[in-house]
Structure 1
Amino acid sequence: MFAYSDPIEVGRLLGMEEELTMSAAEVVALLEEHISERRRDRIEEVVASRCKSIVPVLDGIFDTGNIAAVLRTAEGLGAMSAHMIDTQPVKKVSARVTQGADKWVDMTTWTEPAACVSALQGQGYQVVATHLEAAVPLETIDFTRPTAIVLGNERDGVCEEVAEAADYRCIIPMRGFVQSFNISVAGALSMYEAVRQRQEKLGKVGDLNEEEQHILKAVYYVRAVNQGDRLVKRLLAAGA
């Protein structure tokens, strides 16, 4: 599901106390001169490749380093958003490991696993839980469909509520003695398989239409500028 609409709640994006709403076109016109050409070109490239149809879900992960690593992988492969069930707040995730990925990935946190799964299914996602029992191989899942990939915690895997409610359980085939990969590795392999299939079968990974790309470009402009709240206030005051 695409998380934004036009006009954009710029005040919320910048953590401002006051409400500030602007159209995507207004945001781009206001900020483009304050973003380097190289950065603007990169934002265009990233927006064109963003995928709302593949969403990682972290189920009760203990280690914030693992959370950060999965977010970094997901962002690097084009994911727009992620969900976390009963885990550490996003602000505690290691910036060193994410390399800024948490700045570009929209996070939703849940306290009830069943509510998370139900909401994703209601939005049209097939929910695929990584699991060791009654599971099909990862590569047999059709990732051209909107898919939420649930990664379980380091000790117990996905919780029972998620395992029961998921549309599919999948396993990453192992060739050695160990039964499973580390959560960050499992996340990387799962996400890579998803984008590989989309590229191979659909010819591209990104799935945003032109309007969504225009809105997301404006959102990323807001996130790209330094001290965005002060800059936006100053620019608006100067143009008043």
Structure 2
Amino acid sequence: MYWEEKILDIDYRDKDLYAYLAAFMTENKRQHFARVLAERTRHVTVLLEDIYQEQNASAVIRSADCFGIQDVHVVEVNHRYNLNRKVLKGAAKWVDIHRYTSTQSALDKLKGEGFKLVATSPHAEMTLDELPVNEKVAFMMGTESTGLTDQAMEQADYQIKIPMYGFTESFNLSVSTALCLNTIATKLRKDENIAWQMSEDERQVLAMRWVLKCIRRSELHIENFYKNLSHK
């Protein structure tokens, strides 16, 4: 199940409204929001192509949240992207999931936003550690049984391999994704020349969306906020 987000007719960039709503949360929660927002990024994303195992799908969302990745893109051609709440541990509440009905529409969207498409392959020459991070990257992941489609592989800007030292040829989907995200997140935070953090405007919008998910009767609080404004 996806997290259902309420879309309200308000200015999500209104700092005064945010401050008013945030007052209904604990100070600890407000500080936690600030810490997480400072580490959030849209410099890296994940594209999942027709994943049908809900445990793996959910583990990817959880890893994305843990490594500060805000967006996950999901192609649903033959399989609905089902999520397992026990695996998620609430991660879907904080990560944006974008759904597509075709691989090409997802690839076009990512390329249009300036992402370099990255496919994993045990036969690639470039290693994960060698992947450049100065440009935005989208890790493409396919199903456990067949991997990415030829369509996705052919349009990849990079093919990389994750170093392995045992008999097994590959990691499973969720582990591969977590390893990619861990490596790239570490490299980004070590490079002071890459602007990987979200803009102040993006953080403000995201903070507003998050606070609306955390407080009860948010519409009533918003109504009271604007009533107070009109009486001043």
Shift of residue 26, structure 1, vs aligned partner = 4.4
The separation in 2 between residues aligned to 1:134 and 1:22, in whole angstroms, is 47
Q: Quick one: distance in 2 between partners of 1:39 and 1:179?
A: 43
Residues 151-170 of structure 1 mapped to structure 2, 5 A cutoff: 151-170=141-160
> In the alignment, what sits opposite 1:42?
32
Q: Which residue pairs with 2:178 in the alignment?
A: 188
1:153, distance to aligned residue in structure 2 (A): 0.7
Structure 2 matches for 1:67-78, cutoff 5 A?
67-78=57-68
198-207 vs 99-108, greater mean Cα deviation: 198-207
Runs of 4 or more off by more than 6 Å in structure 1?
A: none
Matched, 1:233 2:219: yes
Distance 2:131 2:42 in 1: 17
Distance in 2 (CA, whole Å) between partners of 1:23 and 1:114 is 31
* Structure 2 equivalent of residue 28 of structure 1: 18
Instruction: Give the Cα separation in 2 of the matches to 1:45 and 1:136.
Output: 34
Could you tell me which residue of structure 1 aligns to residue 6 of structure 2? 14
Normalising by structure 2, what TM-score? 0.87
3-state DSSP of counterpart to 2:170? coil
Aligned equivalents of 2:11, 2:117: Cα separation in 1: 35
For residues 48 and 83 of structure 1, the distance between their equivalents in structure 2, rounded to whole angstroms, comes to: 22
Question: Quick one: which amino acid aligns to residue 47 of structure 2?
Answer: V
Equivalent residues of 1:51, 1:208 under 8 A apart: yes
How far the C-alpha of 1:61 sits from its partner, in A, is 1.3
Query: Given the two structures, how large is their TM-score scaled by the length of structure 1?
Result: 0.84
Inter-partner Cα distance in structure 1 for 2:218 and 2:21:
8
Residues 195 and 44 (structure 1), Cα distance of their counterparts in 2 relative to 1, 3 Å cut: same
User: Percent identical across equivalent pairs?
Assistant: 25
1:79 is paired with a residue whose SS is coil
1:56 aligns with 2:42: no
Is the 8 Å Cα contact of residues 77 and 191 (structure 1) preserved in structure 2? Answer: yes
Shift of 1:193: 0.8
Provide the rounded CA distance (Å) in 1 between the counterparts of 2:127 and 2:185.
16
Corresponding letter in the other structure for 1:113? T
User: How far apart in 2 are the matches of 1:224 and 1:203?
Assistant: 35
- State the secondary structure of the residue aligned to 2:163: coil
Judged with a 3 Å threshold, the aligned counterparts in structure 2 of structure 1 residues 23 and 205 are, in CA distance, closer, same or farther, namely: closer
Query: Quick one: distance in 2 between partners of 1:220 and 1:201?
Result: 28
Question: Is the alpha carbon distance of 1:84 and 1:163 closer, same or farther for their aligned partners in structure 2, counting shifts above 3 Å?
Answer: same
Q: Report the Cα distance in structure 2 between the residues aligned to 1:54 and 1:204, rounded to whole angstroms.
A: 12
Question: Match of 1:143?
Answer: 133
Distance (whole Å) between structure 1 residues aligned to residue 106 and residue 71 of structure 2: 14
> Can you give the 5+ residue segments of structure 1 that lack an aligned partner in the other structure?
1-11
CA 1:142 to 1:204, structure 2 compared with 1: closer, same or farther past 3 Å?
Answer: closer
**1:4 aligned residue:** none
Label 1:69 to 1:29 Cα distance change in 2 as closer, same or farther (>3 A).
same
Tell me the SS of whatever aligns to 2:191: helix
CA 1:183/1:69 → structure 2, altered by over 3 Å: closer, same or farther?
same
CA contact (8 A) 2:124 2:161 kept: no
Q: CA shift at 1:224, angstroms?
A: 2.1
Q: Once the 2 structures are TM-superposed, how far is the Cα of residue 119 of structure 1 from its aligned partner?
A: 1.4
Tell me if structure 2 keeps the 8 A contact 1:126–1:145: yes
21 and 138 in structure 1: CA distance in 2 versus 1, 3 angstrom threshold:
same
Aligned length, in residue pairs = 220
How is 1:197-236 mapped onto 2 (pairs within 5 angstroms)? 197-202=187-192, 206-225=196-215, 227=216, 231-236=217-222
2:70 to 57, 63, 80: 80
